[in-house]
Amino acid sequence: MSFKRTIHAVDTHAGTPMRVITGGVTHIPGNSVYEKMKWLEKNDDQLRKLMLREPRGYPAHCCNIIVPPSHPEADAGYIIMEQIEYPVMSGGNTISVVTVLLEMGMLPMKEPVTELVLEAPAGLIRVKAECRNGKVKNVTFQNVPAFAAHLDAVIDVPHLGKVTVDVGWGGMFYVIADVRQFKGLKLIPQHGKEIARISSMIREAAIEQLPVAHPDYPGVGITITQLSGPTDDPNADWKNVVTMASGDFSWDDPTTWTGALDRCPCGTGTCAKMAVLHAKGELPLNKDFRHQSIIGNVYTGRLLEETTIGDKTAVVPTITGTSWIYGLNTFVLDHDDPFTEGFTVGDIWA
C-alpha cells in the first residue's frame, strides 16, 4: 500500500504519553540538533501537528524524533515537539527517549548501569540508566543549568486578582504559583479543569507582565505554568501540576482559558522549581528533592553545584525518573485524507 507519510514510533508514558519517532522521517538539515529543530519548525511543522493533534494525538501528548547527533561526544540526538512549541529541553521526554533507545536495542544496554550522552536542542545531556533484565528501571540525567528569573513577583490576573509567582528556567520558562493562594483548589485529578483554567490565566498574565530572557535562546519566553504545594505523601517532598497550552489564548474568549495537565512530575519543571527554592535559600546543594505529579508518581531532583548563565547565578540539576513503553506503532497519512495536519475540537482543546 502507498501512503503520503509513514511514521514508525514507540509510545511511552510517565503518566503523560511521550511518543518517540524511530523511523520514517527523512534527513533533517543542520549542523547541530538545535539547527535541525529550527529547520523542522520552519519547513515541516506538519509533522508535529500530525503526530500531536487528533486522531493520532490528544492535548497532553508530547513527541520526539530520534536524529543523528552532530556533536562527536553524543550517542544520539533528539528533537522535542509539544502542542505549541519546540522546547530546547524536556525532562520526561529525555527519560522516554533513553528508555526507547536502550529497550528497543537502538543503543547497547549495559547492566547494571548504561552511561550515554544525548544531544538535545539545548546541548549535551549526560545520562546514567539503571538497567536490569533488559529493562530500564530508571534514568538519571544532568540537565542544562537552571536559574530563577523572578522571585515573589506580584502580577494582576484578570478575574483572579493579585497572584504571587516565581519564574524559573529549567529548560523552559515556568511561571510557578503556590496553589494555596486559591481557596478550595487542590492538586488532585478531580480539580483538573479548574487547575487548567487558573493556570492558563496566570501564564498569560505573566507573559504580559514579567519579561524574561535567556542569553542562549533569544525570543524564548514564558510558555508554561506550574501550580505547586505541599503533599501528605511520605515518599515525596512537594507536589506540582504543570499546565501546557493546547491552543491560542484570548482574554475575550473564556473557552480558551484552559490547557492540558502534565500527568508526569515534569523534569524541566522540577529543575525550575529547585532553582527557585535554592535562590530563596530553601533547597541546598546535594539534597534530594522528590517532586510528585497529580497522579502520584515521583521524579527525584538534586542540585550538584552553582554556576552562571550570562550574568545570572544558576544551578546544575539532575533528575531521576522512569518511563514505560506501552505501544509499538506505525502511523500513516492516507493520500485522500483531507486532515493533513490533524485537527482539534473545542470539547477538549482550547
Cell of residue 336, nine digits: 485522500
The yes-or-no answer on residue 90 being catalytic is yes
pLDDT mean by block of 10 residues, the chain; 350 residues: 95 97 96 98 97 97 97 98 96 98 98 98 98 98 98 98 98 98 97 98 98 93 97 97 95 96 97 98 98 98 96 96 98 98 93
The yes-or-no answer on residue 266 being catalytic is yes
Domain chopping of the chain, boundaries:
5-142+324-333, 147-320
Domains 5-142+324-333 and 147-320 share a fold: yes
pLDDT at 226: 98
| DSSP single-letter state for residue 181 | G
Q: Are 146 and 271 in contact (CB under 8 A)?
A: yes
Cell of residue 267, nine digits: 523534569
pLDDT at 350: 85
| DSSP single-letter state for residue 180 | G
Please, what is the Cα angle at 53 between 48 and 56, to 5 degrees? 95
| DSSP single-letter state for residue 206 | H
* 153-194 residue pLDDT tens: 999 999 999 999 999 999 999 999 999 999 999 999 999 999
Please pick, among 62, 90, 246, 293, the residue that the annotation labels catalytic: 90
Nearest to 56 by CA among 348, 326, 329: 329
Neighbouring C-beta atoms of residue 137, cutoff 10 Å: 13
Please pick, among 63, 131, 264, 266, the residue that the annotation labels catalytic: 266
The DSSP annotation for 1-52 comes to ---SEEEEEEEEESSSEEEEEEES------SSHHHHHHHHHHH-HHHHHHHH
Question: Where does 147-320 sit in CATH, by number?
Answer: 3.10.310.10
Fold held by 5-142+324-333: Diaminopimelate Epimerase; Chain A, domain 1 (3.10.310)
